Amino acid sequence: MDNEGNAAIEFALITPIFAVILACGVDLALLVYSRFQLEATVSNCASYALIKTEMVDSKNGSDLATKIATMIASEDTAGDTQASVVVNNGAIADYNGAKILVYGRTSQADACYCPKGSGSSLSWGGSQTCGSACPDGGQAGKYVAISVTQAFTPLLSGFGIVSADSVRANAVVRTR
């Protein structure tokens, strides 16, 4: 019985399986790396908001929102990131991967709120007396909400690891 070439045939049969496993591993590693980068950016922006608590008002809210959006834009090398920064239900800075648009009613930033939800689904509710009890047990205060979405195209898209071909990171920071 001639066994020459059996190893080559076995290798030819197993190689595609190893290639798929390698591609899945690389795909998952790229996803984790992208997510960590996005989380680090949002964390840095949240820390900046905590340091600049005096800017969470109607006078400086637009400037704070712009600076935080600029921090996000500086990390966006591919132009595939979208972000929204809301300073205490007042100034809003939206970044679309190319430019920053600032708008909103800055006068609302002087009030205190009891926001519900997180990130892009945040509901501010009505203005409250600063320090008063919120329905969820917290205290009314001034907040900065940061929501960032970055495009991510997986190598193998059929596994549902990434929803809507993007990764998201959010932060809601109580500044006062």
List pLDDT tens digits, range 115-130: 888 766 888 888 888 8
β-partners of residue 66 are: none
Is residue 81's pLDDT more than 70?
A: yes
Cβ contact 154:24 at 8 Å: no
Cβ contact 95:81 at 8 Å: yes
B/e letters for 74-94, b = 16+ CB within 10 Å, e = fewer, are ebbeeeebbbbbbbbbbbbbb
Q: What's phi and psi for 58, nearest 5 deg?
A: -70, -25
> If pLDDT is split at 50, 70 and 90, which confidence band does 163 have?
low
End-to-end CA distance of the chain: 83
Prediction pTM value: 0.83
Residue partners of 112: CB distance under 8 A and separation at least 6:
127, 128, 129, 130, 131, 132, 140, 141, 142, 176
